[in-house]
Amino acid sequence: MSEEAKMITIFIMGKKYQVPEALTIMNALEYAGYQLIRGCGCRAGFCGACATVYRLAGDYELKVGLACQTKVEPDMYLTQIPFFPAQKSNYDIDELEPTGAQIMSFYPEGYRCVGCNSCTKVCPQDLNVMQYVNFAIRGDIAKAASESFDCVMCGLCASRCPAQMIQYNIGILARRLYSRHLAPPSPHLKERVEEIEAGKFDQEFKGLMTMDTAELKKLYNNRDMEE
């Protein structure tokens, strides 16, 4: 961090701190002395663990974002919500039917959607959240699964929903239904699973378990990659 970095004032859970202006919220939290045990995850915008709520000076709007992506701004008031409380249904995917009615039987609040598109506007992955919910309601499971594929389940869509929907649970059920009941089976996957169960890769697994972090990183970075 450059000694000439401009310092700005932010408020973390009500307490005032001075932090460099170029930091993300996550880096600013650590700069301020917070040890992030939860709500940090991958640190790269893919796991959805660092959902954050904040307001800016002079702005009435309550904003949300991922702490690893969002940069601090002067007089930002913020707090993290690494877990968004949600009603989670239990089901046996093998016993379900790939239909919209089946999804709505677990998440009937989907029928309360008012089409405000708030969920789409707030999504840090730029997903068309309202669209995949509508696909799910109409029973187009394949499109619902495709549209929601990059969802990281951060909960920010649900935090803005006036219908109190948990959109990401609808999305993941659509993906599970598609994978289990509609997607064509992969012969390559079946073959590989059989090889693993037969012990073909046991020695390689044991070798990986004995490597240190530096060796694993080197192996990963030099792996064969498809074009």
How far is residue 38 from each of residues 43, 136, 145, 147, 158, measured CA to CA in Å? 11, 32, 28, 28, 20
Q: Where are the beta strands (DSSP E) in the chain?
A: 7-12, 15-20, 51-55, 63-66, 76-80
pLDDT at 3: 57
The torsion angle over the Cα atoms of residues 30, 33, 37 and 38, rounded to 10 degrees, is: -70
pLDDT tier, 64 (very low <50, low <70, confident <90, very high otherwise): confident
Q: Comparing 11 with 124, which gets the higher pLDDT?
A: 11
Q: Comparing 96 with 61, which gets the higher pLDDT?
A: 96
pLDDT beyond 80 at 226: no
Mean pLDDT of all residues in 26-54: 87
Mean pLDDT of all residues in 61-87: 88
Q: Is 43 left (phi over 0), alpha (psi -120 to 50) or beta?
A: left
pLDDT tier, 39 (very low <50, low <70, confident <90, very high otherwise): confident
CB 57 within 8 A of CB 74: yes
- Residue type (1 letter), 177: L
Residues 113-138 have pLDDT tens digits of: 999 999 999 998 899 999 999 999 99
CB 47 within 8 A of CB 90: no
Indicate the pTM of the whole model: 0.76
pLDDT at 214: 94
pLDDT at 181: 96
Which residues are registered as beta bridge partners of 12? 15, 78
pLDDT beyond 90 at 78: yes
CB count within 10 Å of CB 79 equals: 11
